[in-house]
Structure 1
Amino acid sequence: MDKVMRFSSNKEVGVFSESSCCLSYTVSVLLQEFGINPPVYEIDQDPDCREIERGLVKLGCTAPVPIVFIGGKLMGSTN
């Protein structure tokens, strides 16, 4: 949960992603087309990936990825 809070609160826009997720890639490209180059946290590249996923669920995320935060506020997924 600590990693989730640190990443999401220190960014104007941040995306939690998985390296093999096509929707995560699409969200990142869409944001870039609006002139936003968000930092992307690849959950599956972190040894604590299950802990991060549990932390995101505690914050109210129902879909696994992509999860978008803007100004520290959970915006949600592609749903």
Structure 2
Amino acid sequence: MERVRELASKKAAVIFTKSTCCMCHSIKALFYDLGASPAVHELDQETRGKEMEWALRGIMGCNPTLPAVFIGGEFIGSATDVISLHVDGSLKQRLINAKAIWF
């Protein structure tokens, strides 16, 4: 759990993903389209990826756990949560506030 929290707080935007997950790919693409360059941690390519996924499951309390998105060190949620924020217009402002994008 400590490793996940450490990585989540290192950059303004952090996404934990799996390289084979289509929703993970969509969320990464959304962030790039908004002008953010998130730190992306592909858990299926990390040495301790399975442990990190279990830690995320503890934080999120649900399954599937990926993608797991953090902005400004704060857990935002999974794909559904991020898309909801994007639809209501608040995702971009959160990224600006966290200095993940500048305007």
Q: 1:60: Cα distance to partner?
A: 2.1
For structure 1, the residue ranges without an aligned partner over 5 or more in a row are none
* Count of residues paired in the alignment: 79
| Runs of 4+ residues over 4 Å off in structure 1 | none
Q: Which amino acid aligns with 1:73?
A: E
Distance 1:12 1:45 in 2: 22
Question: Cα gap change, 1:61/1:68 in structure 2, threshold over 3 Å: closer, same or farther?
Answer: farther
CA RMSD of aligned residues (A): 1.2
Partner of residue 77, structure 2 = 76
Instruction: Give the gaps of 5 or more residues in structure 2.
Output: 81-103
The answer to which structure, 1 or 2, has the higher relative contact order (CA under 8 A, 6+ apart) is: 1
What are the within-5 Å matches in structure 2 for residues 1-79 of structure 1? 1-62=1-62, 63-79=64-80
Q: TM-score, normalising length from structure 1?
A: 0.90
Q: Identity over aligned residues, as a percent? A: 33
> Does the 8 A contact of 1:11 with 1:72 survive in 2?
yes
**Aligned equivalents of 2:41 and 2:19: distance in 1?**
9
TM-score (norm 2): 0.71
Larger helix share, 1 or 2: 2
